Amino acid sequence: MAHDLQADGRVHCVVIGCRRADGRFLMVRRSRHVPLPRKVCFPGGGICLGESQESACIREVMEELGVAVTPVKAVWWHDLEGTNIKLYGWLATLETTDFHPEPSEIEEVLWLSREEALAHPDGLPTNEPFIDALEASLKSLRNSGIRED
For residue 148, is pLDDT > 50? no
Q: Tell me the domains of the chain and their CATH numbers.
A: 11-143 (3.90.79.10)
The model's confidence at residue 3, banded by pLDDT at 50, 70 and 90, is confident
pLDDT tens for each residue of 31-65: 999 999 999 999 999 999 999 999 999 999 999 99
Least confident span in 31-40, 71-80, 140-149: 140-149
pLDDT at 143 (0 to 100): 85
Residue 71 phi/psi, 5-degree rounding, is -65, 135
Query: Which residue has better confidence, 143 or 149?
Result: 143
